[in-house]
Chain A
Amino acid sequence: MNTQSDAMPESFDAQRVAPAVPSPTRPLYWSVRRELWEYRSIYIAPLAVAGVALFSFTISIIAGIWERPLRFDPGTPQKSFDMAAGLLMLTGIIVSAFYCVDALHGERRDRSILFWKSLPVSDITTVLSKASIPLVILPLLTFAITIAVQWMMLLVSSVVVLVSGQSVAMLWTNLSFFQMSLLLLYHLLTAHALWPAPIYCWLLLVSGWARRAPFLWAVLPLVVIAGVENLAFHTWHFAALVGGRFIGDAPTISSTGPDMFPTNPMTHITPGHFLSSPGLWIGLAVAAAFLAAAVRLRRYQGPI
């Protein structure tokens, strides 16, 4: 050991030099992981729905060997696959909404915001990590789980088709799996991430602002605006606007026929039209404004 007077300047210098600027993505990465630790429903809910969907499909298709009305038609297999995808999309929307309402409220409610704020993670990193859950993580997770479920459905249906003596080739040619997957990814990233972004960011903002009942504060203003609009002008434009954003009713495909599911290979996608629609960019600007407000707000917020 050195004498203290010798050791001190050394360690002091070391302290001065040592704080190499850590890469800014590292806190973001760990903050996103932290969200997944805290809100396990982000992956448990879609996995559970996927399990139930797969189970019901298997039961139904096996029963279909004997029960005529349930019989699986290898000529038109699309419908079951769309149904599974639709269920998982709906799950993603519900999980996103509940997550956003709690994300910046929960940490204040349980006082853990004091712990998170005692670490060198900026408010912007924290808010961005929370926004990434509905805008990036859940769409990608929904995609991965849907693909996995559809693969297993294809496997199960192939076996059943084989057992019941029908042609597997017909099933496989009638189901353009690869195209369906690409369309699903496109649909999830546009209609379920970019398009509803202002809704999710609004929920995050209210979650960071409300002292209690964030869900009420998030929904009530929307209901009031829609009600006032209807009373004054007898129209439902605002309600339609918000509702359309929420369920992902985006101009990502040229037409939506009655049976035209977004991942139906017959659909004609229009990314150019979508990317040039002012609605998208206005929505993203509003979303960015909500996020900026949420970042600013978090600086002032403590436990409630």
Chain B
Amino acid sequence: MGRNYKRSRGNSLKDLRLEIFKKASLCRNFENALYGKVQEKIIKFPVYMSAGQEFIASTVAVKMQDLGVNPDIFIQHRGHSTYLAFNGDISQLIDEMLGRKTGCSFGMGGSASIQSKENKIYGHDGLMGNQVPIGVGACFASKIPTIVFVGDSAAEEDYSLSSIGWASTKKLPILFIVEDNNLSILTEKKVRRNWEMHDVANGMRVKSFNISDDPMVIYKHLDNSFDEPILLNINTVRKYWHAGAGTDGENFDRYEEEMKFFGTEGKEIDKYNKNLVLEAWKKQLGKQ
């Protein structure tokens, strides 16, 4: 299938925001449906849901379209939204959750190790943060624009930090996206460290920003992607547990806010994606 880089929306900021919301809506509804399948015990292994964080990948994906860039993507374990936002096939993702050979990682990857060859998304193996050095090495060898997604906890891995340093030394066309939900399982960032990723990256001479997951803010900060290494530490809120079916409580929900902003149109988009996802599950579950 591959990514479609043709820009089809209008030129207003609202059009842009709507396009991002559409992607985020697909991601959110996928995670909600998956949450249900875990509760129904149709899925019997740990899943790492990205609900609450979906505006990050959705905005980056739209920005890449707008820049006309087709980057290599190194995904993290909590990566369903990244996969879907960058046009990964939903049927293959569902099959992966069902452990089928027709899954995007041939049934080997489960939730944490998904990939999409046609969309240049490289799978993650579960060794937290190793997508950072691997992405840096791939970028060094190929000089192709590269995006590395990493959580705030995996970013702490010593090899993640030294990799950012080497990307800086070699001035690679790479973008580090830190999805900072403040939690490592349930341990807050302040318990784990007294420093911030953007400060460390700045110290390594990587242009770095600490921003919210407001799609318009993210979009703006991606303007100069790949001219040099850039790191965005994006503060976000995880909706579901680290793994499995449970919620992190009543927190701010960007998705609900954006849906409200678009009023009836937002609700219709949400409904459309909900049906799309449920139909996709129904179709795949109906297959032997």
Bound pair (A, B): no
Interface residues of B (CB under 8 A from A): none
> Which residues does A use to contact B, with CB under 8 Å?
none
